[in-house]
Amino acid sequence: MRAMLGGVTATATLPRDAPAASPEAPLLSVRGLTLHIPVPPHTLRAVDGISFDLRRGETLGLVGESGSGKTLTAMAVMRLLEPPLSDLPRGKVLLEGRDLMRLSETEMSTLRGRALSMIFQEPMTSLNPVMTVGRQIAEPVVRHLGLSARQAAARAEEMLRLVGIPDPPRVARAYPHLLSGGMRQRAMIAIALACRPSLLIADEPTTALDVTVQAQILDLLAGLQREMGSAVLLITHDLAVIAETAHRVAVMYAGRIVEEAPVGSLFAAPRHPYTRGLLASIPLIARERPETLPEIPGMVPGPGDRPAGCAFAPRCGRALPRCAQDVPPFAPLAPGHHAACWNPCDG
């Protein structure tokens, strides 16, 4: 029976050649992004000086546990933080060379949905409950691309077909609450991609979905990305999702990127003890299983009580005396492989 099922299999291997390292400038370049939130008498260092690049056609996985600052990073890039947080980010967010941090809200709103879009974990909270799905897709198309209402409605149906929604004309007239969780997430992807943005930020896009629906959505995102050549910043806590979809991975811990590498080397030879501990602690589906799972002792420090040096030092089995005092620099250890660690693991 397995062989019979094998016959209907859609994709056997993952076509995931990383885009060739091109001399062209990255699409997105984030430099020294910080979000320090004053909560007297403390300062919460929610995002603490992070830098990364993202090229066209590439997926960068931003992985981290709760409180690591990954979602706030995305919200800062999108300029979607609300007051009083909206004035706090520092650093540069260069999209095709333009610093988004210096744009006015009016200028930014002409880019959002057109040059860059975002999809969220829970589609129901970001879809408009009193507007039909079709209008929600058509609206940015009219606004950004200047299409007529009729053309935009046609584009909406085309997008719904593209994201694999059956009977697009009917769904275009439906309100979001009538759709299942998976269909809502597809609708949100259709909205986000309707203007063919060059950058898509996906924040835990499949975390709220069942595993069979998750697989459909991840395949869909990968296919659309290949077709449109968009860059994707994929934010998730799920290392398995990262392994299957990202070209490169940046691991966040306590507001900083502690390691960044191509997906293959990150999983094969993690250099930062936190990354190594995280990978070791995931249970695997295998015939043999260990009696106990390797644990990372302790817990993530809160944003108000981070140690002076490396934030991971109190939980780290490889910590040296200096780790408690000095923040380790984000240093290259191999081509394309960086880690912020005074005593990195062997490659």
Partner 1 sequence: MAEPLLQVRGLEVHFPIRSAMLRRRIGTVRAVDGVDLEVARGETLALVGESGCGKTTTGKSILRLIEPTGGSIRFAGEEIARHPPARLAPFRRRMQIVFQDPYASLNPRMTVGGILAAPFEIHRIGDAKDRAERVAALLRTVGLPPEAARRYPHEFSGGQRQRIGIARALALEPELVIGDEPVSALDVSIQAQIINLMKRLQAELGLAYIMISHNLAVVSHVADRVAVMYLGRVVETAPREALFFDARHPYTQALLSAVPEPVPGRRRARQVPQGDVPSPANPPPGCHFHPRCPLAIARCAQEAPAPRIVAPGHAVACHLVSP
- Beta strand 231-236 with 59-63 is parallel
Would you count residue 151 as binding partner 1 (CB under 8 A)? no
Would you count residue 210 as binding partner 1 (CB under 8 A)? yes
Asked if 37 contacts 46 with a C-beta cutoff of 8 angstroms, the reply is yes
Among 35, 95, 218, 340, binds partner 1 (CB under 8 A): 218
Which tokens hold the place of 184?
């809502």
Would you count residue 281 as binding partner 1 (CB under 8 A)? yes
Nearest to partner 1 of 19, 329 (CB atom): 19
Would you count residue 295 as binding partner 1 (CB under 8 A)? yes
**Amino acid identity of 134?**
G
C-alpha distance from residue 65 to each of 24, 89, 218, 329 (Å)? 33, 21, 20, 21
Nearest to partner 1 of 67, 89 (CB atom): 67
Would you count residue 1 as binding partner 1 (CB under 8 A)? yes
Cβ of residue 203: shortest distance to partner 1, in angstroms? 16
Asked if 196 contacts 114 with a C-beta cutoff of 8 angstroms, the reply is no
Would you count residue 240 as binding partner 1 (CB under 8 A)? yes
Residues forming a β-bridge with 251: 63, 259
Cβ of residue 47: shortest distance to partner 1, in angstroms? 18
Judged by DSSP in three states, 292 sits in coil
Cβ of residue 271: shortest distance to partner 1, in angstroms? 16
Among 31, 92, 237, 318, binds partner 1 (CB under 8 A): 237
Would you count residue 167 as binding partner 1 (CB under 8 A)? no
Cβ of residue 264: shortest distance to partner 1, in angstroms? 5
Rg of the Cα atoms in the chain: 21
Neighbouring CB atoms inside 10 A of 162's CB total 19
Cβ of residue 199: shortest distance to partner 1, in angstroms? 23
Among 163, 241, 323, 333, binds partner 1 (CB under 8 A): 241
Asked if 198 contacts 115 with a C-beta cutoff of 8 angstroms, the reply is yes
Which residues within the stretch 246-265 sit at the binding site for partner 1 (CB under 8 A)?
Answer: 263-264
Which residues within the stretch 67-126 sit at the binding site for partner 1 (CB under 8 A)?
Answer: none
Residue 102 CA from chain centroid, whole number: 23
Among 178, 293, 308, 331, binds partner 1 (CB under 8 A): 293
- Is the previous residue joined to 89 through a cis bond, with omega within 30 degrees of 0? no
- Beta strand 98-99 with 90-95 is antiparallel
Would you count residue 283 as binding partner 1 (CB under 8 A)? yes
Would you count residue 285 as binding partner 1 (CB under 8 A)? yes
Calpha distance 299→314 (Å, rounded): 9
**Amino acid identity of 49?**
G
Nearest to partner 1 of 150, 287 (CB atom): 287
Phi-psi region of 69 (alpha: psi -120 to 50; beta: other; left: phi over 0): left
Among 277, 309, 328, 344, binds partner 1 (CB under 8 A): 277
Nearest to partner 1 of 53, 219 (CB atom): 219
Which tokens hold the place of 13?
């291997």
Cβ of residue 239: shortest distance to partner 1, in angstroms? 5
Among 65, 85, 223, 228, binds partner 1 (CB under 8 A): 65
Would you count residue 334 as binding partner 1 (CB under 8 A)? no
Asked if 34 contacts 92 with a C-beta cutoff of 8 angstroms, the reply is no
Phi-psi region of 255 (alpha: psi -120 to 50; beta: other; left: phi over 0): left
Q: Where along the sequence are the contacts to partner 1 (CB under 8 A)?
A: 1-2, 4-6, 8-14, 16, 65-66, 166, 180-183, 210-216, 218-219, 237-244, 263-264, 267, 277-279, 281-287, 289, 291-297, 299-300
